[in-house]
Amino acid sequence: MRNWLTAIALSASAAVQAAPPPRVVIEYQVLHNGGLLATVKHVLEHDSNTYRLSETWEGSGLLALLGEVRRTSHGQVTPSGLRPLEYVDERPRRNTAIARFSWEGHTLTQEFRDGPQTQPLPPHAQDRLSFLFAPAFHAPEVKRLEFNVADGKGVSLYRFDVAGRERLSVPAGDFDALRLDQVDDGGRATQIWLDAAHSYLPLRVLVVQKDGTRIDQVAARFTLPR
């Protein structure tokens, strides 16, 4: 009964969902077993036809010595959601990872150390940034979400069950959130909370490794146009 009611509620919310504002900035704290590991800033810009996402990591403590990590994604906004065209992951002292999506040619080309490698474009293709923001442009309407997530080095299949709504408290405030749950084959559990009041923007990502290690990314500040 609960799953049936949840499905109805999600379908109704999708029908009235508004697109995110043209520019959104979300700042996160990344915690490793409760200690501050890094601060992360996500910037989303779109004009209802195209989008651009950037993510910047700044490490805390000894991690700060490794330098800044920057990832970007850009692509199209379609009635069925985001279609990434290119994803770039730049890190100090490491090869840049690139994923290019050809929706007309139905191919995915990835490049990291060994030169470009091309394969058929998998279904539900996204990248490491776009999959987090995909629900903001196409609200969850089913009980399970699937993403084939490319990062320039490979493709990972993410399957999330829609667990339902709950109240969430993060440094940015208290929110009515939609929770997504995944447990992968290696025993790693991932939970994502989306802000149901602001176009399902990501509020929190919690990863618990098989050994109990916790990586928790929580929203510390939202910047939305007034």
CATH code for the domain of 133: 2.50.20
Our count of domains for the chain comes to 1
Q: Are 53 and 74 in contact (CB under 8 A)?
A: yes
Helix (H, G, I), strand (E, B) or coil at 132: helix
Name 110's bridge partners. 99, 117
Burial of 125 (0-12, 13-18, 19+ CB in 10 A): buried
The pLDDT value recorded for residue 142 is: 78
Query: For residue 98, what are the contacts with CB-CB under 8 A and spacing of at least 6?
Result: 86, 87, 88, 89, 110, 111, 112, 152
Q: How many CB atoms lie within 10 A of CB 29?
A: 19
Q: Torsion-angle region of residue 40: left (phi > 0), alpha (psi -120 to 50) or beta? A: beta
> How far is 210 from 224, CA to CA, in rounded Å?
36
- Which spans in the chain are helix H? 2-15, 130-137
The pLDDT value recorded for residue 7 is: 41
The pLDDT value recorded for residue 129 is: 98
- Please tell me the number of Cα atoms within 13 Å of 162 on its side-chain side: 26
The pLDDT value recorded for residue 193 is: 98
The pLDDT value recorded for residue 185 is: 78
- Please tell me the number of Cα atoms within 13 Å of 182 on its side-chain side: 20
The pLDDT value recorded for residue 15 is: 40
Domain hosting residue 53, numbered range? 2-223
List Cα–Cα distances, 201 to 51, 146, 175, 188, in angstroms. Answer: 14, 17, 11, 23
Q: Strands 144-150 and 125-127: what pairing?
A: parallel
> How far is 78 from 131, CA to CA, in rounded Å?
14
Residue 11's closest CA among 176, 140, 134, 124? Answer: 140
The pLDDT value recorded for residue 61 is: 66
Q: What pLDDT tens digit does each residue of the chain (226 aa) get?
A: 334 334 434 444 444 456 899 999 999 999 999 999 999 999 999 999 999 999 999 877 656 656 789 999 999 999 999 999 999 999 988 999 999 999 999 999 999 998 899 999 999 999 999 999 999 999 887 789 999 999 999 999 999 999 999 999 999 999 999 999 998 878 899 999 999 988 999 999 999 999 999 999 999 998 877 5
Residue 45's closest CA among 23, 26, 25? Answer: 23
> How far is 132 from 136, CA to CA, in rounded Å?
8
Q: 0.85 exceeded by the pTM?
A: yes
> How far is 168 from 128, CA to CA, in rounded Å?
24
> How far is 210 from 88, CA to CA, in rounded Å?
29
